[in-house]
């Protein structure tokens, strides 16, 4: 965007902030889930967003130019956008569209322009307003307005509610734009790091700057604005795959020493992921992190960091490591439907104890996993089998945090069951869509739960549907029933639905370890009456724990 265009936008689109914020429409709250045919037929080939942030008034002035393609004939073009952002004008393929041919209501802008299958069109939407404010980001969404040393400091987060909180988009996973250009105009003295590669910075006569960013295929909710009085640390990482990856960290003024310590974690964390999973997916763009006034979020190539540089017993920053893992699990490999959301969060959560193991060994691995185990709730199946919205997954009736911790423990049990070679090979297929990823031979992709199950079956030569059905499609955990006689120990799996569950069990008898194959879901081993027995001594099995259930139960106040 040129300097003159930035000035024209600011002059034309500034409006007075509204006194009262209208209630958020259910359509705006909705991200993903079942999609109407006219929305499902659309794909976003390119998004060009020219946005001026006006922090003194907590407003945006913007123009979005969307290049859309239709997979099937559609009678109209519905674009998702929060009603608090007022559309001023629309142009279609460069021509102004008469006001009677478009309407804004119910969390959408509906444009009465039909498309035939295979047709492409360019929609230019000029809009402005005060975006919704997040009260408790990132657990709710919107803008977070703050200050640092008297200067504006703010950012966006939109995972649950979706991209339509601040830009006109297709708010479902397949609505991911194939390419994005961001032109962010900000007040003097502020920086605006964003997704992708910086193409240049224009300096306007009054001291404002416009930052021009270009990114490839980007998750709609992972597109982000972050603005503040930043200082930048940068470097390079020479990948084990032969390419050189730029490293960038934008941190607040006055936090130089803490920032240097966190920046020192970038290269070893990157090496862990590349050696364990495969090539960094966005090596032609950057590894980017920006300090934000909220905890964090996996914004593609510009991960939000707000953990306050807290020291941790693991020796690394969990927040940085978790959000960075989403570059593989969430940004490179994106769940095709939010019902598959565990593919993002379970793998990202499991990567933390695996990183602890990579750094320090099994003791650290198990100690981190056992902390996660206490947070498994088992309130709803992780996978429902139906298309779901983000709020249905994260809400009261959905699996909630089980997509993180129960999913991570399921992966822990699966790795032991099938072995490291098959586990990581199947994971690689899930992430890259191929067994041999190298820089340049893969692109971002969508994936499903069934696809991971198929990859496991192909790598092992066995069907583990019984395993995934119990852990992913049932709420309750399998219960290992123990019975002991004077001469033997009998074990039996009891699972929801009473289906097959031949998950092997390790038993330690007087210090000697044995494995019971549990064919048919049960097994037995000779045990002397006075022998000391430990079942599952290395904690490989995700199973019911009465001790954890008692710990999780609501406490009754004593009189």
Looking up tokens 């099995």, which residue turns up? Answer: 541
- Asked if 346 and 468 sit in the same domain, the reply is yes
The pLDDT confidence band at residue 22, using thresholds 50, 70 and 90, is confident
Structure tokens at 5: 């265009």
The pLDDT confidence band at residue 281, using thresholds 50, 70 and 90, is very high
State residue 460's pLDDT score: 98
Task: Give dist(CA 373, CA 551) in Å, integer.
Answer: 12
Element (H, E) at 511: none
The partner residues of 184 in beta bridges, in order of sequence, read 51, 211
Task: Give dist(CA 278, CA 271) in Å, integer.
Answer: 9
Within-domain flag for 266: no
State the average pLDDT for the chain: 95
Share of the chain above pLDDT 90, in %: 94
Q: Are 333 and 281 in contact (CB under 8 A)?
A: no
- Asked if 145 and 70 sit in the same domain, the reply is yes
From the list 524, 460, 536, 473, the residue with the least C-alpha distance to 499 is 473
- Asked if 396 and 498 sit in the same domain, the reply is no
Domain boundary among 184, 199, 228: 228
Task: Give dist(CA 194, CA 322) in Å, integer.
Answer: 19
Give me the mean pLDDT over the 113-141 stretch.
Answer: 97
Task: Give dist(CA 435, CA 455) in Å, integer.
Answer: 10
pTM score of the predicted model: 0.95
| CATH assignment at residue 449 | 1.10.390.10
Domain boundary among 228, 259, 277: 228
Share of the chain above pLDDT 70, in %: 96
Looking up tokens 């099994």, which residue turns up? Answer: 362
Q: Is the pLDDT of residue 179 over 70?
A: yes
From the list 32, 25, 173, 40, the residue with the least C-alpha distance to 85 is 25
Give me the mean pLDDT over the 231-240 stretch.
Answer: 98
Q: Is 352 exposed, middle or buried (0-12, 13-18, 19+ CB in 10 A)?
A: buried
Within-domain flag for 235: no
The pLDDT confidence band at residue 4, using thresholds 50, 70 and 90, is very low
State residue 555's pLDDT score: 64
Q: Is the pLDDT of residue 183 over 70?
A: yes
Within-domain flag for 243: no
Residue 395 makes CB contacts below 8 A (sequence gap 6+) with none
For residue 38, the tally of other CB atoms under 10 A from its CB is: 18
- Asked if 446 and 489 sit in the same domain, the reply is no
Q: Is the pLDDT of residue 465 over 50?
A: yes
Least confident residue range of 12-26, 157-171, 220-234, 491-505: 12-26
3-state helix, strand, coil in the chain (%, to 5): 30, 30, 40
42 vs 12, more confident: 42
Which DSSP symbol is given to 417? Answer: H
Within-domain flag for 253: no
Within-domain flag for 318: no
The partner residues of 155 in beta bridges, in order of sequence, read 144, 226
Give me the mean pLDDT over the 453-464 stretch.
Answer: 98
What are the start-end ranges of the H helices in 326-404?
342-360, 362-373, 390-394
**CA 331, 332, 334, 336: dihedral to nearest 10 degrees?**
150
pLDDT digits (tens, 9 = 90+) for 264-279: 999 999 999 999 999 9
- Asked if 173 and 223 sit in the same domain, the reply is yes
Q: Are 464 and 503 in contact (CB under 8 A)?
A: no
| CATH assignment at residue 48 | 2.60.40.1730
Within-domain flag for 510: yes
- Asked if 406 and 343 sit in the same domain, the reply is yes
- Asked if 19 and 166 sit in the same domain, the reply is yes
- Asked if 385 and 490 sit in the same domain, the reply is no
Structure tokens at 405: 């911790």
The pLDDT confidence band at residue 556, using thresholds 50, 70 and 90, is low
Q: Is the pLDDT of residue 14 over 50?
A: no
Please tell me the total number of residues recorded for the chain in this structure.
Answer: 559
The pLDDT confidence band at residue 287, using thresholds 50, 70 and 90, is very high
Q: Is the pLDDT of residue 1 over 60?
A: no
Within-domain flag for 278: no
- Asked if 200 and 76 sit in the same domain, the reply is yes
Q: Which domain holds residue 214?
A: 3-228
The pLDDT confidence band at residue 79, using thresholds 50, 70 and 90, is very high
When divided into structural domains, the chain yields a total of 3
The pLDDT confidence band at residue 9, using thresholds 50, 70 and 90, is very low
- Asked if 469 and 383 sit in the same domain, the reply is yes
Domain boundary among 473, 493, 519: 473
Instruction: Establish whether the linkage from the previous residue to 138 is cis, with ω within 30° of 0.
Output: yes
- Asked if 75 and 113 sit in the same domain, the reply is yes
- Asked if 11 and 133 sit in the same domain, the reply is yes
Q: Are 193 and 226 in contact (CB under 8 A)?
A: yes
pLDDT digits (tens, 9 = 90+) for 307-319: 999 999 999 999 9
Task: Give dist(CA 366, CA 373) in Å, integer.
Answer: 10
Give me the mean pLDDT over the 231-242 stretch.
Answer: 98
Within-domain flag for 369: yes
State residue 554's pLDDT score: 82
Task: Give dist(CA 467, CA 452) in Å, integer.
Answer: 13
Q: Is the pLDDT of residue 2 over 50?
A: no
Three-class secondary structure of residue 325 per DSSP: helix
């Amino acid at each position: 965007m040129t300097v003159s265009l930035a000035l024209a936008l600011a002059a034309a689109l500034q409006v007075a902030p509204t006194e009262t914020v209208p209630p958020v429409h259910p359509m705006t709250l909705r991200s993903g889930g079942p999609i109407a045919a006219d929305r499902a037929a659309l794909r976003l080939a390119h998004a060009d967003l020219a946005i001026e942030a006006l922090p003194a008034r907590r407003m945006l002035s913007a123009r979005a130019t969307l290049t859309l393609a239709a997979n099937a004939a559609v009678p109209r073009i519905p674009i998702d956008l929060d009603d608090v952002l007022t559309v001023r004008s629309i142009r279609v393929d460069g021509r102004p569209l008469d006001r009677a041919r478009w309407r804004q209501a119910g969390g959408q802008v509906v444009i009465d322009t039909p498309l035939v299958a295979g047709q492409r069109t360019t929609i230019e939407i000029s809009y402005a307003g005060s975006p919704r404010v997040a009260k408790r980001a990132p657990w709710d969404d919107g803008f977070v307005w703050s200050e640092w040393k008297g200067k504006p400091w703010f950012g966006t987060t939109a995972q649950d509610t979706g991209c339509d909180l601040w830009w006109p988009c297709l708010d479902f996973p397949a609505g991911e734009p194939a390419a994005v250009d961001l032109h962010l105009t900000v007040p003097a003295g502020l920086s605006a790091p964003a997704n992708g590669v910086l193409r240049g910075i224009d300096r306007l006569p009054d001291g404002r700057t416009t930052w021009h960013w270009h990114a490839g295929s980007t998750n709609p909710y992972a597109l982000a604005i972050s603005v503040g009085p930043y200082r930048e640390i940068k470097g390079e990482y020479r990948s084990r795959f032969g390419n050189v990856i730029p490293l960038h960290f934008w941190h607040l003024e006055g936090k130089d020493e803490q920032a240097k310590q966190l920046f020192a974690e970038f290269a070893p964390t990157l090496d862990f992921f590349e050696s364990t999973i495969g090539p960094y997916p966005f090596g032609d763009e950057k590894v980017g992190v920006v300090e934000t006034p909220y905890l964090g979020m996996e914004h593609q190539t510009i991960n939000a960091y707000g953990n306050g540089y807290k020291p941790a017993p693991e020796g690394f920053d969990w927040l940085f490591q978790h959000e960075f893992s989403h570059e593989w699990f969430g940004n490179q490999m994106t769940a095709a439907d939010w019902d598959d959301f565990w593919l993002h969060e379970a793998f990202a959560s499991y990567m933390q104890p695996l990183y602890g193991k990579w750094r320090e060994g099994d003791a650290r691995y198990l100690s981190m996993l056992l902390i996660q185990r206490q947070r498994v709730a088992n309130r709803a199946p992780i996978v429902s089998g139906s298309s779901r919205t983000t709020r249905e997954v994260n809400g009261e009736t959905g699996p909630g945090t089980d997509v993180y911790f129960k999913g991570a423990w399921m992966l822990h049990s699966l790795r032991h069951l099938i072995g490291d070679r098959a586990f990581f090979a199947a994971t690689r297929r899930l992430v890259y869509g191929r067994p041999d990823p190298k820089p340049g031979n893969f692109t971002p992709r969508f994936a499903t739960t069934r696809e991971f199950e198929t990859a496991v079956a192909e790598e092992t030569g066995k069907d583990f549907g019984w395993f995934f059905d119990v852990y992913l499609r049932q709420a309750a955990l399998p219960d290992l029933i123990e019975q002991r006689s004077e001469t033997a120990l009998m074990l039996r799996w009891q699972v929801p639905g009473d289906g097959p569950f031949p998950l092997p069990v390790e038993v330690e008898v007087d210090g000697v370890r044995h494995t019971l194959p549990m064919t048919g879901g049960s097994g037995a081993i000779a045990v002397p009456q006075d022998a000391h027995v430990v079942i599952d001594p290395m904690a490989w099995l995700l199973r019911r724990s009465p001790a954890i259930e008692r710990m999780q139960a609501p406490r009754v106040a004593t009189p």
